[in-house]
Amino acid sequence: MQCARCNRNLKDKKSIERGFGPVCYKKHQEEEKEFLKKQVTLDEALKEAN
């Protein structure tokens, strides 16, 4: 199996389960956290519209 981010071969069982190597998983987590911080909920959007 290969890393979903960098396509390197995954060897560790935990990495295979995650689909990411340890470095790419950390980067993915950081990006996901930043993305979720910027997300706007439907309630927030409706409040801004009124």
Question: Maximum Cα–Cα distance for the chain, whole Å?
Answer: 53
Residue 43 confidence (pLDDT): 82
| pLDDT for 47 beyond 90 | no
Mean pLDDT of all residues belonging to the chain: 92
Q: Tokens 């071969």 appear where?
A: 9
Residue 12 confidence (pLDDT): 95
Amino acid in the structure at residue 5: R
At 29, list the tokens: 């987590």
pTM, 2 dp: 0.73
Q: Residue ranges of the alpha helices (H) in 1-50?
A: 13-18, 22-38, 42-49
